[in-house]
Structure 1
Amino acid sequence: MNTTSRRPLRAFGSAATALFVAGLLAACGGASPEPEAPVSATQSAPSDAASSSASPSGSATASDGAETLTYPGRTGATALELLLEADPSAEVTGKGENAFVTAIGGRAADDSKKEFWSLSVDGEPAQVGAGTLETEDGQEITWTLETY
């Protein structure tokens, strides 16, 4: 399978997401909502990442060192609600549709390195923010630390 043809689209999606996120970040502020009951999650991050009540586990991806957090969707819950259940230590600015995730598993996105936490559903970039994205049973929600 030729994966090089998808690379430009992924880069475009990441760049568009980064611009969208930068706009949200500039316009928002506030505290994060309280988490509900924990859900199962898998996380790839440095070994010193903060642990959560959902006990994310995993190791850094060997191919590119990407840091990720993946958890199942749940009908009636937003991606942001489920993130905060999976990782209560996640840092968020803004609320609801203006929420912007700045850190997961104790790993903050570094603006000087042009990093951001990217949200995808079933392997496709999310078209709305985490506080707006209503998930469904059977979906795979993934956060990946990316650069723009």
Structure 2
Amino acid sequence: MKTLMHTTSSRLLAATTAGLLCAGLVAGCAGDDEAAPEASAPASTEADAGGEETAAGDVTEFSYAGEHGKTALDLLLVHDPDAEVSGEGEMAFVTAIQGRAAEDGEEFWGLYVDGEMAQVGAGALETEDGQEIQWKLEEIE
């Protein structure tokens, strides 16, 4: 009887200790995930991509840093994997960013580099380190 109680107590203690250790690890990992992108992320990570919203919550602008040798389209898809694109490569046309689709025939997502409208499409625009790549939802006039 004494052995059974000792075994049950030992198991209960071991299970409690294991549970506390697991809880501590989970809590510790959750905290690390939140701090890590800011502390160690290079300037071109998703953490640096940003967008502006209207009062209704619709995204109207989205920007990120350029990277040498990568196209504006490649980087857009890194920073917003759910962006919607029609066509491929140099003929790609961005139709939605951050879940906000441009209304067909009324709006379009305009591409800007360092504040100037791009002269080529996103699939053809090779970016450089330090450039600001910006998308603006604009009305067709």
Q: Report the TM range for the smaller structure's normalisation.
A: 0.5 to 0.7
SS in structure 2 at match of 1:85: helix
Helix, strand or coil for the counterpart of 2:81?
coil
Q: Which runs of 5+ in 2 are unaligned?
A: 1-43
Residue of structure 2 aligned with 1:44, choices 37, 52, 67: 52
Q: Does 1:76 align with 2:69?
A: yes
CA offset at residue 45 of structure 1?
2.7
Cα distance in 2 between the residues matched to 1:48 and 1:85:
26
- What is the identity, as a one-letter code, of the residue corresponding to 1:81? D
For 1:103, the equivalent position in structure 2 comes to 96
Aligned to 1:17: none
Count how many residue pairs are aligned between Structure 1 and Structure 2.
96
Is the Cα–Cα contact under 8 Å of residues 45 and 105 in structure 1 kept in the other structure?
Answer: no
Which structure exhibits the higher relative contact order, with contacts defined as CA atoms closer than 8 Å and separated by 6 or more residues? 1
Structure-2 separation of matches of 1:38 and 1:139? 14
Cα deviation 1:92-125 (Å, max 9, x = unaligned): 011100000000000000025x100000000000
Which segments of structure 1 move beyond 2 Å, counting only runs of 4 or more?
37-40, 45-49
Which residue in 2 is equivalent to 1:118?
110
Higher Cα Rg, which structure:
2
Q: TM-score, normalised by structure 1?
A: 0.60
**What pairs up with 1:58-77 in 2 under 5 angstroms?**
67-77=60-70
The 1:82/1:47 distance shift into structure 2, 3 A limit, reads: farther
- Give the superposed CA RMSD: 2.2
Indicate conservation of the 8 Å contact 1:99/1:131, yes or no.
yes
Q: Secondary structure at the match of 2:96?
A: strand
In 1, Cα distance between the equivalents of 2:74 and 2:92? 11
Give the equivalent residue in structure 2 for 1:138.
130
TM-score (norm 2): 0.62
Higher helix share: 2
For structure 1, list consecutive stretches of 5 or more residues without a partner in the other structure.
1-36, 50-59, 61-65
Looking at structure 2, the residues matched to 48 and 41 of structure 1 have their Cα atoms a distance apart, in angstroms, of: 20
* SS of corresponding position for 2:78: helix
Q: Deviations over 1:64-85 (max 9, x none)?
A: xx71001000001000000000
Judged with a 3 Å threshold, the aligned counterparts in structure 2 of structure 1 residues 68 and 117 are, in CA distance, closer, same or farther, namely same
Given the superposition, is the C-alpha separation of residues 147 and 118 from structure 1 closer, same or farther in structure 2, using an over 3 Å criterion? same
